[in-house]
């Protein structure tokens, strides 16, 4: 029986690395894996249709299909399993389409993405996946603050090396954007400017 799986973690937790590893296993077993990504993700350059996705941790890329309208585009593609990169950008409709793939076609869907944005709010796609996925698993990593060994659960966003307190969930097209993955204690401390 097929499953809809959601693997989540903070930036730098190895989500795409895990996706690539699972993709290669499915490929080795001749399960014809397809990787898809919402077109909103343009960190690797604007891609429409076939492009690539890559992991910053292992410096490896694999083919990925960037979609604008999943319901119209998915049925034109060939697959026996589906992997979703940057799943936090999925819409409720996208998740319904993928649920139908699992339930009606008996095909596994493995989605990888962030749970929350840099404001500590659930991404819409992640919220829907937390409700609809059959299997939910966190990919943990440690806080980016030196000497902190707590689990990173939050993000700090920097634009041009300055802390960005903008309330927008996504800042893909705003200057030089970087992130730190931090524990809850350091997130509160840095956001508020207070020592805890």
Q: Catalogue the active-site residues.
A: 86
Tell me which residue of 26, 15, 175 sits closest to 88, measured CA to CA: 15
Q: What's the alpha-carbon Rg for the chain, to the nearest Å?
A: 17
CA 6 to CA 129: how far, in whole Å?
A: 7
CA 107 to CA 80: how far, in whole Å?
A: 6
CA 38 to CA 91: how far, in whole Å?
A: 9
CA 110 to CA 138: how far, in whole Å?
A: 13
CA 167 to CA 124: how far, in whole Å?
A: 15
């Amino acid at each position: 029986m097929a499953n809809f799986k959601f693997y989540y973690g903070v930036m730098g937790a190895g989500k795409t690395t895990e996706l690539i590893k699972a993709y290669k296993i499915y490929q080795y077993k001749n399960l014809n894996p397809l990787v898809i990504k919402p077109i909103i993700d343009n960190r690797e350059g604007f891609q429409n249709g076939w492009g690539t996705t890559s992991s910053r941790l292992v410096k490896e890329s694999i083919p990925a299909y960037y979609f604008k309208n999943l319901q119209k585009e998915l049925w034109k593609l060939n697959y026996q399993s589906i992997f979703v990169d940057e799943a936090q950008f999925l819409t409720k409709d996208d998740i319904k389409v993928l649920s139908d793939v699992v339930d009606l076609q008996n095909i596994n869907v493995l989605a990888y993405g962030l749970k929350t944005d840099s404001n500590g709010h659930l991404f819409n796609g992640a919220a829907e996946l937390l409700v609809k996925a059959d299997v939910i698993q966190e990919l943990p990593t440690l806080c980016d603050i030196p000497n902190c060994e707590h689990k990173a659960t939050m993000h700090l966003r920097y634009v041009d090396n300055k802390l960005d307190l903008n309330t927008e969930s996504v800042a893909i097209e705003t200057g030089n954007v970087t992130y730190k993955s931090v524990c809850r204690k350091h997130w509160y401390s840095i956001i508020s400017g207070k020592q805890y």
